[in-house]
Amino acid sequence: MQNIFIQNENQRMILGTVKRFVDAEVRPRAAALDAQQDPEKSFSWEIVERANEVGIRTMTLDEKWGGLGTDSLTTSMVIEELGKGDIGVSVIFAQTLKIAQIMQNALNDEQKARVLPGFAKDPRGMLAIGITEPDNASNYFLPYPTSFRTTGQKTNGGWIVNGMKHFISNGNRSSHYLLFVQTEKGKPLAEGSTCFLVERDRPGFTIGRVHDKMGERLANNAELVFQDCFIPDENVVGKVGKGFGVLAEFFPQSNAYAGATILGVAVALHEKAIDWAKVRVQGGKPLIEHDGIRAQLAEMRMLIDASRSYIHRACWLADHQDHGWDKTLGVLPKAMASQAAWKIATWCLEIHGGHGYMKEFGVEKLVRDAAAFLHSDGVNRTLFLKAANFMFQK
């Protein structure tokens, strides 16, 4: 399918590099890594290092920090391309690219000088964001008048942090984290939480369980555990008590990037369905010549095209907010793309008949992967409620 949003040769070159990387480094490894029983063994440092060599890991950083300074639209195309090869690999880099972009905007000059050069040089430098807790998830999306259980107590020169986060993408693999902590007791998290920059080797910070997941296995998700962890004042991102301001101000494209990841899976499923429909003969002719199947393949294409247009619009407007950005674009594109991917997954499975259910055909992995973003980056129903709150004052 032609991508009408590609505007220049530079974008074409970047996407060509990413496609070659996916063909050479991701596709040949994905099924075997996915099949590992131990979730930590499904992760590959080799893939991260190869991505680093071709400039993918750092591409959202400005050139002065060693990156390519890719805009949000181009980045979403890269994330989709990675997702076509494997959703976990797409998540690894979507998180890292997104958080690098956020850090560049949200960190002060001293923090940037302290963190970004080291991150740029480290071939295994990865980034994560810790918000979700066992008791607080949809709560922070809406947000309800509740508090984070991860708390910060003020002390001389910083904060003593205790508590835990869970489900965190890249949680056990990252060099730096953005962590959301309740710093004002008794206040709802929208008013009393603070965002901190946390280094992987900070005393008092350890990794808990690495979650065993249904799909998206090439990326790891883990618990972050804080026991009397001292975080200095210099690591406060933005202002104390204004953590949600950081979320609202610096994450405009986050949801669309999540949409791009799952869109990649939808495209892979669609291609698989077409390939199968061309070779499988029933009723004396290939499935693709049966009207019911042809119509379904066209409907899949509509869902993919519409989701991509929504994602691209959200990304472009996130970078050009005076051209008509509205807050629903920060929550709805992922909901649309993940619903589309889930529908396409069930149709692809159906078109494959019994073969789709057999692991050897590769549809089964994609179906497990397609479920990931019904919940990741917010459960879709919660995101619809959030959009409604933007649209209609309560």
Ligand X SMILES: Cc1cc2nc3c(=O)[nH]c(=O)nc-3n(C[C@H](O)[C@H](O)[C@H](O)COP(=O)(O)OP(=O)(O)OC[C@H]3O[C@@H](n4cnc5c(N)ncnc54)[C@H](O)[C@@H]3O)c2cc1C
User: Which residue, 96 or 169, is less far from ligand X as judged by CB?
Assistant: 169
Helices (H), 87-217: 87-106, 109-121, 138-141, 189-192
Residue 50 burial (10 A CB sphere; 0-12, 13-18, 19+): middle
In the complex, what is the shortest distance from the CB of residue 45 to ligand X, in angstroms, rounded to a whole number? 19
Q: Which residue, 14 or 218, has its beta carbon nearer to ligand X? A: 218
Q: How far is the CB of 170 from ligand X (least distance, A)?
A: 7
Min dist. Cβ of residue 376 to ligand X (A):
4
Q: Whose CB is nearest to ligand X?
A: 137
Q: How far is the CB of 100 from ligand X (least distance, A)?
A: 15
> Which CB atom, from 89 or from 277, has the smaller least distance to ligand X?
89
Amino acid at 391: M
Applying CB under 6 A, the residues found at the interface with ligand X are 129-132, 137-138, 167-169, 216, 221, 372, 375-379, 381-382, 385
Dist CA 97 CA 67 (whole Å)? 10
With beta carbons less than 8 A apart as the criterion, state whether 147 and 185 touch.
yes
Residues forming a β-bridge with 144: none
Nearer to ligand X, 17 or 138 (CB): 138
b vs e for 291-325, b when ≥16 Cβ sit within 10 Å of the residue's Cβ? Answer: eebeebbeebeebbeebbebbbbbbbbbeeeeeeb
The Cα–Cα gap between 302 and 306 comes to 6
Least distance in Å: CB of 328 to ligand X? 17
Q: Token digits for 299?
A: 């409907």
**C-beta separation of 237 from 220 below 8 A:** no
Q: State which amino acid sits at residue 366.
A: L
Distances (CA, A) of 200 to 94, 113, 129, 147, 246: 19, 18, 12, 25, 21
Give the nearer residue to ligand X in terms of CB position, either 91 or 300: 91
- DSSP 8-state code for residue 162: E
Measured from the CB of residue 305, what is the shortest distance to ligand X in angstroms? 26
Question: Based on CB atoms, which residue is closest to ligand X, 207 or 385?
Answer: 385
The distance of closest approach from Cβ of residue 219 to ligand X in the complex, given in angstroms and rounded to an integer, is 8
| In the complex, least distance from residue 204 CB atom to ligand X, rounded to whole angstroms | 20
For ligand X, which is the closer residue by CB, 162 or 309? 162
Strand residues in the chain grouped as ranges (E): 127-130, 151-155, 158-169, 176-182, 193-199, 205-210, 221-232, 236-237, 281-282, 285-286
Nearer to ligand X, 131 or 236 (CB): 131
